[in-house]
Chain A
Amino acid sequence: MSSPSLSDRDYELISAYLDGEVDIRQKKVIENRLAEDAQFKSAYEQLSRTRRLMRSQPLLRAPRNYTLSPKMLSASQTSPKAFLPFPLLLRTVSAFTSLVFLVLFGLNWITASRMMSVAPVANSEVLAQPAQPALLDEQAMQSRSAPAEEQPMAKSMATPDLAPKSISPPSGEMGGMGEGGGAGAEGGVEAPLLEPDAGITLIAPTDTLSTTLSPAPLESTGELDIQSELNPSEISPSESQALTEVTETEGLIGGIRQNWLLQQILYGVLALSFAIIAIRAGKRRA
């Protein structure tokens, strides 16, 4: 009887048989096959030869004695047992990345918090410009006779805190009107002289402006103060439209805030993950 080829299982049996690691039943099966199967017998002989060859290899003689000395032991305790560059690198990179994420997290939080606190007011003011006064400072508010009911106006202001800003509504542009807006006629606060290109320019739609602006009396300083009068019948539709826009804007801001919160959580999780990797790499190295 001859099998076409031997399987791994056959070689495993032969190998175990050579080492005496088979039970009685397996031993009987193997011996029967050895008697009947020439290929099996040939495989047995070749494997037997390889085994004997391997077992004939003498133990090597150690090139030196490996006995330990107290000095050797103390040196091995002070120095790391093995050079592990990858954990060290991983630890350093992870710690650095964790730190970067934390810094970014903090900066982003501060910036976004500021934006969130300012954005709703600014946006609503911009959107409500046809019906609401556009970004007036406190002094200017005090100078007006009816601050809550003022009409849109274009006004150049010389107050330092608002100087760099410029807000343009989408409906039109009327920049650099050349009218100096003196602040605080009634509030008693005197603003510095307006220079044409130095102050903030608040721009309102031309048509709204023409209907709502009234000539302002000249102050003793020669500056112009703009006073506006509110006519409720003219602004009511605009106000309702503005309110709708403000509501939409608030919804939009709510969405942005939600995204921002998710982003913050993601930053936090990443920072935490890298910190854990850094700690684990450190422990492994120790």
Chain B
Amino acid sequence: MDEQGLIHDAQKGDLEAFNRLVLAYQDAIYTHAYRMLGDESAADDATQETFIAAYQAMKTFRGGSFRAWLFRIVTNQCYDELRRRQRRPTTPLEPLTTDDEEIESPKWLGDDANSPEEEVDQQALREAIQHCLNGLPKEFRNVVLLIDVQGMDYREAAHILKVPVGTIKSRLARARLRIQHCLQGFWELLPDKFRLVDEESQ
């Protein structure tokens, strides 16, 4: 894929060229939105809004990393959504027992007997990580997602978040430390390679 060519065509209003860029980045953008918001529906909306906003603002793209530019847009979309949630907090619906009592059944404790065992573990681990991510301040969450999940370097993350590299360093360290503490209760969900390292270190 000639990304620069597609960007150039998209800037001229070529929707087909832009849609090829969308297909190339939609998984990464959706993953980031989902990890930031912790909700599939909200992530779906944020991803769609990101690409619409990107297309409408294509003429303002002045070169550089297109990925970083897209991640800046999705970050803003996620922050907007999080601010809306703060203004209008909602209570998650939990299933009720026959006695009308709520069942504490977060997804990461759920059991899907029809899935293969490994898939269940992966799902449980993913949800445990998401649970820990949700407990982080959004600035910390964003940094750890950009660097550890999306694989960006410090400078690219700093460019997206418009903060100095030093801020990225400190936020990342704190975020990792908090996730580490949060995951203490979920070590049994970890694959062997992670558990063994923990046992060796202790």
A interface residues (Cβ-Cβ under 8 A, vs B): 8, 11-12, 14-16, 19, 21, 42, 45-55, 57, 59-70, 72-73, 76-77, 81-83, 86
Contact status B169-A55, CB under 8 Å: no
Across-interface contacts of B65 in A (CB, < 8 A): none
- Complex CA gap A54/B87 in Å reads 30
Contact status B26-A19, CB under 8 Å: no
Contact of A61 among B15, B27, B149, B151 (CB under 8 A): B27
Q: A60-B31, A62-B30, A68-B52 are in contact. Are A47 and B177 (CB under 8 A)?
A: yes
Contact status A59-B190, CB under 8 Å: no
Q: Max chain B CB contacts within 10 Å: which of A46, A61, A69?
A: A46
A-B contact sample (13 more), CB < 8 A, given A15-B172, A49-B197, A52-B194:
A49-B198, A50-B176, A55-B151, A59-B31, A60-B34, A63-B40, A65-B23, A66-B22, A66-B48, A68-B51, A68-B55, A76-B56, A82-B80
Contact status A11-B173, CB under 8 Å: yes
Q: A8-B174, A12-B170, A50-B176 are in contact. Are A19 and B51 (CB under 8 A)?
A: no
Across-interface contacts of A77 in B (CB, < 8 A): 56
Contact status A12-B173, CB under 8 Å: yes
Contact status B47-A67, CB under 8 Å: no
Across-interface contacts of B52 in A (CB, < 8 A): 68, 72-73, 76
Across-interface contacts of B22 in A (CB, < 8 A): 65-68
Contact of A16 among B44, B47, B169, B183 (CB under 8 A): B169
Across-interface contacts of A49 in B (CB, < 8 A): 180, 194, 197-198, 201
Contact of A19 among B15, B34, B154 (CB under 8 A): B154
Across-interface contacts of B129 in A (CB, < 8 A): 53-54, 57
* Cβ proximity bits B1-29 to A, threshold 8 Å, 1 near / 0 not: 00000000000000100110011001111
Across-interface contacts of B200 in A (CB, < 8 A): 45
Q: How far is the CB of A47 from chain B (nearest CB, A)?
A: 6
Contact status A63-B18, CB under 8 Å: no
Contact status A62-B201, CB under 8 Å: no
Contact of B174 among A11, A16, A52, A65 (CB under 8 A): A11
Contact status B49-A81, CB under 8 Å: yes
- Complex CA gap A65/B19 in Å reads 9
Give the secondary structure class of B's interface: helix
Residues 56-99 of B contacting A (Cβ, < 8 Å):
56, 80, 84, 87
- Complex CA gap A77/B172 in Å reads 38
Across-interface contacts of B30 in A (CB, < 8 A): 60-63, 66
* Cβ proximity bits B119-131 to A, threshold 8 Å, 1 near / 0 not: 0000000100100
Contact status B179-A66, CB under 8 Å: no
* Cβ proximity bits B134-168 to A, threshold 8 Å, 1 near / 0 not: 00000000001001110101100000000000000
Contact of A50 among B44, B51, B169, B183 (CB under 8 A): B183
Contact status B201-A45, CB under 8 Å: yes
Query: Is B53 on the interface with A (CB-CB < 8 A)?
Result: yes
Across-interface contacts of A47 in B (CB, < 8 A): 173, 176-177, 180
Q: How far is the CB of A87 from chain B (nearest CB, A)?
A: 11
- Complex CA gap A31/B112 in Å reads 45
- Complex CA gap A76/B49 in Å reads 9
Contact status B34-A51, CB under 8 Å: no
Across-interface contacts of A48 in B (CB, < 8 A): 197
Contact of A14 among B48, B80, B173, B183 (CB under 8 A): B173
Q: How far is the CB of B4 from chain A (nearest CB, A)?
A: 20
Across-interface contacts of B80 in A (CB, < 8 A): 82
Contact status B154-A62, CB under 8 Å: no
Contact status A21-B154, CB under 8 Å: yes
- Complex CA gap A19/B34 in Å reads 24
| Nearest B-chain residue to A14, judged by Cβ | B173
| Nearest B-chain residue to A18, judged by Cβ | B176
Across-interface contacts of A73 in B (CB, < 8 A): 15, 52, 55-56
Q: A8-B170, A68-B52, A73-B52 are in contact. Are A50 and B154 (CB under 8 A)?
A: no
